[in-house]
Chain A
Amino acid sequence: MNQPPTLQLRHLLGLETLDAQQITALLDLAGQMKAVNQRRIKKLPTLRGVTVLTFFVENSTRTKMSFELAAKRLSADVMGFAASTSSLSKGETLLDTARNLEAMAPDIVVIRHSSSGAPHFLAERIGCGIVNAGDGAHEHPTQGLLDIFTMREKLGTLQGKKVAIIGDLAHSRVARSNLHGLHKLGADVHVAGPATMIPPGIEELMCTAHTRVEPAIEGADVVMMLRIQRERQGNDLIPHAHEYHRFFGLDQQRLKLAKPGALVMHPGPMNRGVEIAPEVADGAQSVILQQVENGVAVRMAVLYAVAVTRGLEEKP
């Protein structure tokens, strides 16, 4: 693995602070990692002796497993920490917990937290590399990278491609990371959803906002549906799931507005019949499972890049 000299990555807090070159370098690196994942023996010795701690203060199955698998494929030692079984549930502050974890000398901490800015908080206060695995409604940079990786894999380039992101933009960290990354790689991004789910000033993240989904989907190369969280159904954001599906969900009919063969994406977990019709989710245009597959490669690339920047990798 050769890391290009432009890719200095002490932490990965978000895609907002990365430039196009850095994003492209990470995607290229992920491409090499994907090739490793397709070998019979899916393992590299590069991060032998490096300790990766997954520090998940908010529930997650997929992202946590994906990171753990990525770390193991690079031969790192992986420790897991779950909030529900930890001292955080006994009233310890985030800083104290983090300092205790730091005392066990991990090299990289992968953090998922319900408060926006929590990874930045840790990055300023403890010495190890911090990788943001989702903070509040702020960013989920590895999800953004794996989405963009999948689009680039299928479309070749993102320059001038129309990408529609549909759903609860207000509460979506996935959407924010995608917006930052896609814009830098030249895509034409449209977001859509009921106005209750489109936050003020979203256009400043370089996208066009719509309150109906049709103009966003029309002629799109990619249609990405966001998860509608159960707790948001039937409160003041949307009346109920059924109505949401009728007006804002992606079904076969609406998908016809997009370019023929447009990619259908979803960060998961899906609510079938709410934001996406089952036949679309399972249809020929869906790349949802490939997103999951690419997630491991992207996370390997990120862990590798952070480790190399910090001089942790095993030198041949």
Chain B
Amino acid sequence: MSAHDAGNFLIRGASLRGWSGQPERTCDVRVRAGAWDEIGDRLSAGDETVLEATGCWLTPGLVDCNASAREPGQEQDEDLASLARCAAAAGYVAVAVSPDTSPSNDDHAVTELIVRRSREQGICEVLPIGALTHRLQGTTLAPMGEMSEAGAVLFGDADRPITSSRLLRRAMEYARSFDRGVVTQPIDADLAASGVVHEGNWSTRLGCKGFPAAAEHIAVARDIAVCQLAQGRLHLARLSARRSVEHVARAKRDGIAVTCAVTPWHLLYTHADLAHYDVNLRFVAPLRSEDDRQALLAGLRDGTIDAVCSDHQPWGLAEKEVEFDRALPGAIGLQTTFAVLCRLVQQGDLDAATVVRCLVTAPRQIVGLAPPVLQLGQPATLALLDPAAPWTFDAATNRSKSRNSPLWGKVLHGNARLTVLRGRVVHADLPL
């Protein structure tokens, strides 16, 4: 079996995880001509390929709620095809892409371009996040209705802060007509100033401008208050601070429609890891203290934090091989997010059910996809994940056009063995 075949295979001994109306259980599953054919115990093999998958998770596929595709405009760093190959190789079947392209996705023509190219490629479903404001400038509303028709699933201004509370309110209200949520990156830009490192002992030691935690959680509190006022739906893209998690927990108790995500990096690293000014550890929301990291893990375990996003940010040498405070923030993340979470499971910080919730179930709700069902006769969409598979993230395995990752060259555990999108095999990494 190679990629792009219509699948005929029998998956033996995997555990079903993340399916709607399907309890977790270990069984055999047969896919014939790309469609679900049979579920049962000890199914007998016919002429199809048999995959021994004991210990693997048979999921409906991962979904990412925040990645940057760089197309249109910066295709030297990534494009929709390479992004989709990264996604498929990691078991993602849908990826929401941020509007910070060039031109920005603030018009239905750009939305249509993204959707059409991705459909033609057929490797991964790419879900455009439309701009909230014209050219991401935070001054006038972008045409959300037309972008919704063209396929935009959420609206936000990528990592640009929306300074005006009034505009944010109007945007959330307006988006309700199209049943869309608004996504923000909570930053009080005035207080954050040009901070690049969490304000604390490490920013002092490194002599870097501090970005206080308050510059995030003030904005979290504001965005939640505006969401309540507008009766809208809010998704907070990437949280990094303990108090931010506390604000979200309280908003959820109060019944406000808020969801939030974290990146794998904030679960794995802290500001102490910046001792050598690694540009690949510079993020829009900076790495914070161990106390903050523990609060993010706890928030993920108790469900306050809904999802883990890859925050895939491909950048080339010109943006990354520069001074720490001049480097653009972010790292490529699609191919390593699952492995990072597997490491956290290994360390006892998370359990497998949480990993499935934050990569499979919750992101679907955030981007507005229907709950995944395993219905016989229907085309199969799935990812077969091996939480223990060892692999090295290097030039041989990387599918991105960029290589800006703190995990470059490292041996990781956890990867996708097989990804199928609507009956078509889009990734197969199998000793058959």
Which A residues fall within an 8 A CB radius of B?
16, 93-95, 113, 115-118, 120-121, 125, 135-139, 170, 173, 176, 199-202, 204-205
Q: Are B204 and A116 in contact (CB under 8 A)?
A: no
Residue in A93, A116, A120, A199 with the greatest tally of chain B CB atoms within 10 Å: A116
A-contacting residues, B151-177, CB 8 Å: none
A-contacting residues, B188-202, CB 8 Å: 199-202
When distances are taken between beta carbons in the complex, the residues of chain A under 8 Å from B210 are 199-200
When distances are taken between beta carbons in the complex, the residues of chain A under 8 Å from B208 are 116-117, 136-138
User: Separation in Å of the B102 CB from the closest CB of chain A?
Assistant: 18
A-contacting residues, B251-274, CB 8 Å: none
When distances are taken between beta carbons in the complex, the residues of chain B under 8 Å from A94 are 322-323
Identify the closest chain B residue to A175 (Cβ). B207
The 5 residue pairs across chains A and B that have the minimum distance between CB atoms: A201-B201, A138-B207, A117-B277, A115-B323, A137-B207
Q: Is B276 in contact with chain A by the CB < 8 A criterion?
A: yes
Q: Are A200 and B323 in contact (CB under 8 A)?
A: no
Report how far A121 CA is from B325 CA in the complex, Å: 12
When distances are taken between beta carbons in the complex, the residues of chain A under 8 Å from B201 are 200-201, 204
Q: Are B204 and A199 in contact (CB under 8 A)?
A: yes
User: Separation in Å of the A178 CB from the closest CB of chain B?
Assistant: 13
Q: Are A121 and B204 in contact (CB under 8 A)?
A: no
Q: Are A116 and B276 in contact (CB under 8 A)?
A: no
Q: Are B322 and A116 in contact (CB under 8 A)?
A: no
Report how far A120 CA is from B275 CA in the complex, Å: 10
Q: Is B206 in contact with chain A by the CB < 8 A criterion?
A: yes
Q: Is B318 in contact with chain A by the CB < 8 A criterion?
A: yes
Q: Are A117 and B323 in contact (CB under 8 A)?
A: yes
Q: Are A121 and B206 in contact (CB under 8 A)?
A: no
Given contacts A200-B199, A204-B201, is CB(A116)–CB(B207) below 8 Å? Answer: yes
Which B residues fall within an 8 A CB radius of A?
199-208, 210, 276-277, 317-318, 321-326
Q: Are A116 and B277 in contact (CB under 8 A)?
A: yes
Report how far A121 CA is from B321 CA in the complex, Å: 9
Total A-B contacts with CB atoms under 8 angstroms apart = 69
Q: Are B204 and A200 in contact (CB under 8 A)?
A: yes
Report how far A125 CA is from B323 CA in the complex, Å: 12
Q: Are B322 and A205 in contact (CB under 8 A)?
A: no
Report how far A125 CA is from B208 CA in the complex, Å: 21
Q: Are A200 and B207 in contact (CB under 8 A)?
A: no
Report how far A113 CA is from B323 CA in the complex, Å: 10
Identify the closest chain B residue to A117 (Cβ). B277
When distances are taken between beta carbons in the complex, the residues of chain A under 8 Å from B276 are 120
User: Separation in Å of the B181 CB from the closest CB of chain A?
Assistant: 36
User: Separation in Å of the A126 CB from the closest CB of chain B?
Assistant: 12
User: Separation in Å of the A100 CB from the closest CB of chain B?
Assistant: 14
Given contacts A200-B204, A201-B204, A205-B204, is CB(A117)–CB(B324) below 8 Å? Answer: yes
CB-contact partner of A176 in B200, B202, B207, B323, under 8 A: B207
Q: Are A115 and B325 in contact (CB under 8 A)?
A: yes
Residue in B210, B277, B317, B326 with the greatest tally of chain A CB atoms within 10 Å: B277
CB-contact partner of B321 in A93, A136, A173, A205, under 8 A: A93
Task: Given A16-B205, A125-B321, A201-B205, output 20 extra A-B contacts at Cβ < 8 Å.
Answer: A93-B318, A94-B322, A95-B321, A115-B325, A116-B206, A116-B207, A117-B208, A118-B323, A121-B277, A121-B322, A136-B325, A138-B206, A138-B207, A138-B208, A173-B207, A199-B203, A200-B200, A204-B201, A204-B205, A205-B204
CB-contact partner of B325 in A116, A173, A201, A202, under 8 A: A116
Given contacts A200-B200, A200-B210, is CB(A121)–CB(B323) below 8 Å? Answer: yes
Given contacts A121-B277, A200-B199, is CB(A115)–CB(B204) below 8 Å? Answer: no
* Cβ contacts A to B, 15 pairs, < 8 Å: A94-B323, A115-B324, A115-B325, A117-B324, A121-B277, A121-B322, A137-B208, A138-B207, A139-B207, A199-B210, A200-B201, A200-B210, A201-B200, A204-B201, A204-B205
When distances are taken between beta carbons in the complex, the residues of chain B under 8 Å from A137 are 207-208
Report how far A125 CA is from B206 CA in the complex, Å: 20
When distances are taken between beta carbons in the complex, the residues of chain B under 8 Å from A205 are 204-205
When distances are taken between beta carbons in the complex, the residues of chain B under 8 Å from A202 are 204
When distances are taken between beta carbons in the complex, the residues of chain A under 8 Å from B323 are 94, 113, 115, 117-118, 121
Residue in A117, A121, A137 with the greatest tally of chain B CB atoms within 10 Å: A117
Q: Are A95 and B322 in contact (CB under 8 A)?
A: yes
When distances are taken between beta carbons in the complex, the residues of chain A under 8 Å from B204 are 170, 199-202, 204-205
Q: Are B203 and A115 in contact (CB under 8 A)?
A: no
User: Separation in Å of the A46 CB from the closest CB of chain B?
Assistant: 32
When distances are taken between beta carbons in the complex, the residues of chain A under 8 Å from B317 are 95
Report how far A289 CA is from B367 CA in the complex, Å: 66
Identify the closest chain B residue to A91 (Cβ). B318
Report how far A138 CA is from B204 CA in the complex, Å: 8
Identify the closest chain A residue to B212 (Cβ). A200
When distances are taken between beta carbons in the complex, the residues of chain B under 8 Å from A170 are 204
When distances are taken between beta carbons in the complex, the residues of chain B under 8 Å from A199 are 203-204, 210
